[in-house]
Amino acid sequence: MLNDQFARAQESKRRVLHALCIAIAAATTLVLIALASIGGSYLEWDFSNQEYAVVGTMLHGFEWIFARMAPIILAGSIAGAVASRK
């Protein structure tokens, strides 16, 4: 009976991990698509306005960091999804 409970708990953890990996891969892909659709249009904003300057700088910083981290995140989440499938 204990082995059966342990097996069910392990299966439940595997399913959650698999779903989490797929969700991370999907979210990363959606953010990449969103950033590609923006296409750096914020660079054409009037940065003499302080609010635009702050938001544009933050968006550029996020885009710069995310573009470098996305391949690692995507590869890791896909590898996790493949490793945790049944």
- Residue 46's pLDDT band (boundaries 50, 70, 90)? confident
pLDDT above 90 covers a percentage of the chain that reads: 58
**Residue 40 confidence (pLDDT) above 80:** no
Comparing C-alpha atoms, which of 30, 77, 36, 6 is closest to residue 85? 77
pLDDT of residue 54: 92
Average pLDDT, the chain: 91
